[in-house]
Amino acid sequence: MGSSRFSFANLAIALSLCLGSITYGYDFSIISTTVGQASWYAYFGLTTVATNPNYEYSNQIIGTVFGLFSAGAIFGAIFVGWLCDRYGRRPALVVAAIINVIGGALQAGSVHIGMFLAARFVTGFSGSMFVTLVPIYIAEVAPPASRGLLVGQHGAFFLTGYTLAAWVGVGSYFSSSAAFNWRFPLSLQALWPLLVLVFFKWLPESPRWLVSNGRRDEAWAILSRLHYDPKDPEQSFANREFAQITQQIELDQQTYGDCGYVDLFTRPHFRKRTLIGALVMWASQANGAIVIYSNIVSLVAGLGFNSTQSLLLSAGWITLACVGNFTNAFFLDKLGRVKSMMIGMSGCVVFTIIEAAIVANYGGTQNKAALAAGVAMLFGFIIFYGGFVDTTIYVYGSEIFPTHIRAKGMGWCMAIFFLSTLPFLESSAVGFATIGWKYYLLFIILPSINVVLIYFFCPETKGLSLEEINGVFNDKVAMQLTRIDGEGAATDSGVLETDTGNNSNNETEKTDAKIQVV
């Protein structure tokens, strides 16, 4: 009957693509340790001393460094949505890698703060191409029952990039060379996209993209290899999935025709997905994770720890986040997407409330026990964010859109993701400097509202094939491949179920079947 579980080929493709995930994670996170290096401030004439005349200017530059990465990422997400639909997932991966190498090299070789800022924009542009494309790519080659696990590796591995950046930053801090302190960590940004180019040759194109572009023979050759099972010489699961993909794409093309970004907002069924995707991405950033990620070194230092301790604790914090993301990926197919996000965001709110109280009452004091508790609250926060949210959002965004508009939909989601980071990244340094603990109130009120919205508006998608998720959004499903058991878990049905009806011209059979509990 074939296997709906992942094969070695699925796993190998996912892990190779995750080099792109590491690229994004390293690109984003390395700046957190860079702005913790005194030699970087000295080279560009900046300061962290409040009494220095350049203090306000320095804070503005730091905000701009973070903000330009996100600004570039917004454009990169929209661009890659168009690029990988037009030319395919593989060519888009190459373009992202080449641009990223250029951005990393420019940062490492910067001789002026303007050059550095421009390079951050370029790196953000290419980094978001990876963070948008990789989950789409993996989702389109993953079996339904293990899609959460495989796509979840994307979130887990970009946290690997965060972790690598943190420990590279720690190691570079102890170098006696002022230039090495910050230039070497930045130069490693070029390594990961170069590795992407090394592994690129043997990565297959997405079979769903091939079918949507009329290249069915190529799609079948790839799909049969991905789902190969020596116990099933007839390749029954691969045959069933191929039939489902081809019929669903035909049905979608007949129903909607060619679709562009405008259709995300003008067609009701797409608009619902678009708004839900925006909600999930906004909610993931409005709980303060991006602010803590970006300012973890300075936040720990603000709790009374010296530079060395702050770098070590921040590296440990990010390492724990990485472990949490891998854990999230492993139980996501069982727990479900919506429940995972709600648990994670609720837990983050609890720890943020305690953190705000500690900073309000003990910040700036010598109460070591209270300040240590403040650091512990930051670790508690990341257990819930990394363990329940950070991986889930990419899985969810990559699967709620139909194939013919998935890349543009995910591009939109990631544009909202990065757009949502801008107000927090731009304001965080000034916010903590001016209103202190009260800045945390944002990350108590906003996520509390978002948890309620996710509960009421986000449907569950775990276990269903990408084509069957159309039924969750009241679109037509051409063929059912999975079924949902009495416990709410989707499994391989073993049969192809269709509601067929000949139209007046006896054309292609269609179905209005919805996914139902049986």
DSSP result, 496-508: EE------TT--S
In a domain, 43, yes or no: yes
Which residue from 292, 319, 443 is spatially nearest to 378, judged by alpha carbons? 292
For 481, the 3-state DSSP assignment is strand
- How far apart are alpha carbons 221 and 173 in whole angstroms? 50
- How far apart are alpha carbons 73 and 133 in whole angstroms? 13
- pLDDT of 497 reads 46
In a domain, 209, yes or no: no
Query: How far lies 186's CA from each of 28, 432, 474, in Å?
Result: 11, 26, 47
In a domain, 285, yes or no: yes
For residue 426, pLDDT over 80 is answered with no
For residue 12, pLDDT over 80 is answered with yes
Q: List phi, psi (to 5°) of 506.
A: 55, 40
In a domain, 503, yes or no: no
Mean of pLDDT values over 47-59:
83
Task: Please give the structure tokens belonging to residue 455.
Answer: 């509960």
Where residue 431 sits, what CATH number does that domain have?
1.20.1250.20
- pLDDT of 5 reads 63
- How far apart are alpha carbons 76 and 125 in whole angstroms? 4
Mean of pLDDT values over 336-351:
96
In a domain, 511, yes or no: no
- pLDDT of 482 reads 66
- How far apart are alpha carbons 301 and 73 in whole angstroms? 29
In a domain, 235, yes or no: no
Q: What confidence category does residue 450 fall into, taking pLDDT thresholds of 50, 70 and 90? A: very high
144 contacts 333 by C-beta, under 8 angstroms: no
Number of domains in the chain: 1
Task: Please give the structure tokens belonging to residue 127.
Answer: 């980094």
Q: 397: which DSSP letter?
A: H
- How far apart are alpha carbons 155 and 158 in whole angstroms? 5
119 contacts 100 by C-beta, under 8 angstroms: no
For residue 499, pLDDT over 60 is answered with no
* Residue 350 CB neighbour total at 10 angstroms: 14
Pick from 119-128, 161-170, 292-301, 429-438: least confident = 292-301
- How far apart are alpha carbons 357 and 170 in whole angstroms? 30
- pLDDT of 512 reads 36
The 10 Å CB-count burial string (b at 16+, else e) for 428-456 is bbebbeeeebebbebbbebbeebbeebee
Domain of 320, in residue numbers: 8-201+259-457
Rg, Å, the chain Cα set: 23
Mean of pLDDT values over 458-462:
94
Q: What percent of the chain has pLDDT over 70?
A: 91
36 contacts 311 by C-beta, under 8 angstroms: yes
Pairing of strands 490-497, 480-484: antiparallel
- How far apart are alpha carbons 235 and 230 in whole angstroms? 9
Q: 267: which DSSP letter?
A: S
Mean of pLDDT values over 355-370:
84
In a domain, 413, yes or no: yes
Q: What confidence category does residue 507 fall into, taking pLDDT thresholds of 50, 70 and 90? A: very low
pTM, rounded to two decimals: 0.82
DSSP H or E segment with residue 369: helix 368-384
Mean of pLDDT values over 466-490:
71
In a domain, 473, yes or no: no
- pLDDT of 70 reads 86
- pLDDT of 11 reads 83
Query: How far lies 59's CA from each of 45, 293, 420, 446, in Å?
Result: 12, 17, 20, 25
Mean of pLDDT values over 440-456:
95
